Structure 1
Amino acid sequence: MRKIIAVTMILVAGLLAVNAQEPTTPEAKPNKNAPVITFTELVHDYGTIKQGSDGNFDFQFKNSGKDPLIVNNVKSSCGCTVAEYTKDPVAKNKTGVVKVRYNTNNIGSFVKTVTIYSNATNNPVVLTIKGTVEQAAQQQAN
């Protein structure tokens, strides 16, 4: 009787082990023609700037792939940073731009991100802006 129980348990354990294995599926081959978005820089440091000064910066990018690159969406980390971007498809070896504007009315240090979503193989890409805004000098009345 013990032999029957032992053999049954071994068979059940073997069946469970066989069923637990994941089926093997062939891996998808990467698209050799897929677009690749390449930025000239990923981080821009404004340094120390005055309150109310120009908080604009243009991040330039290139399509290093073969198929057209399409930027689908751009999201900034907060409402103090606004981004505009090239909406037309960017052909092979052509360039586009993500224009970032930081609200320099906010005093103090800042680090903000802008995330770029596209059809590129290296999607998404995160751009960073940083710096310090110091209070503008007060004008004295004569």
Structure 2
Amino acid sequence: MKKLVLYMAMLLVGISYAFAQGKADIKFDKTSYDFGTFSENSPVVSCVFTFTNVGDAPLVIHQAIASCGCTVPEYTQEPVLPGKTGAIKITYNGAGKYPGHFKKSITLRTNAKTEMMRLYVEGDMTAKEKK
């Protein structure tokens, strides 16, 4: 009986300790960006999303996956400590794409409380000027 009580107490302490550990949490200034109108003559546009780790543990971005090969994310590779900021640069390359409106998403996988989230970029690419 004493062993059972001891094991239950150890289990309770272990569970309490596991829940007491801090967790990273990510907060973006904005989650979407509009490039506006740009010409097919200069089809490459970029923007930067900044975020802050508002949690209690280091934040790690495991993956950033774009919905299309024309959109390339570059992100902070090292862990972002609590209270510090990081950045994700998104580059859209419209070369060879049909002019018009586009909207692309970037899916992030992190160790934050919200493990997956999406960022969005959109814009309007106008056709090349005829000479």
Task: Give the Cα–Cα distance (whole angstroms) in 2 for the partners of residues 65 and 93 of structure 1.
Answer: 8
Partner of 1:18: none
Q: 2:28 aligns with which of 35, 39, 54?
A: 39
55, 58, 61: which one pairs with 1:65?
55
Partner residue in 2 for 1:17: none
| Identical-pair percentage | 32
**Could you tell me which residue of structure 2 aligns to residue 49 of structure 1?**
38
Task: Read off the aligned partner of 1:55 and give its amino acid letter.
Answer: V
* Residue in structure 1 matching 2:69, options 74, 79, 82: 79
**Which SS does the other structure have where 1:55 is aligned?**
strand
Choose between structure 1 and 2 for higher RCO, CA contacts under 8 A separated by at least 6 residues: 2
In structure 2, the residue matched to 1:111 is 103
Distance 1:67 1:134, change over 3 A: same
Structure 2: segments with no counterpart, 5+ residues: 1-15
Question: Aligned partner of 1:134: which letter?
Answer: T
CA distance in 1, matches of 2:21, 2:112: 11
User: Which stretches of structure 1, 4 residues or more, deviate above 6 A after TM superposition?
Assistant: none
Q: Point out the structure with the larger strand share.
A: 2
Larger radius of gyration: 1
TM-score normalized by structure 1? 0.73
Structure 1 unpaired stretches of 5+? 1-27
Aligned equivalent of 1:126, options 96, 115, 118: 118
**Aligned equivalents of 1:131 and 1:111: distance in 2?**
7
- Aligned length in residues: 113
Q: 1:67, 1:126 → 2: CA distance?
A: 21
The answer (yes or no) to whether the contact 1:82–1:100 under 8 Å persists in 2 is yes
* RMSD of aligned alpha carbons: 2.0
| 1:24-44 deviation line (CA, Å, top 9, x unaligned) | xxxx98666211111110010
How far 1:119 sits from its partner (Å)? 0.1
Asked if the contact 1:50–1:104 (Cα under 8 Å) also holds between the matched residues in 2, the reply is: no
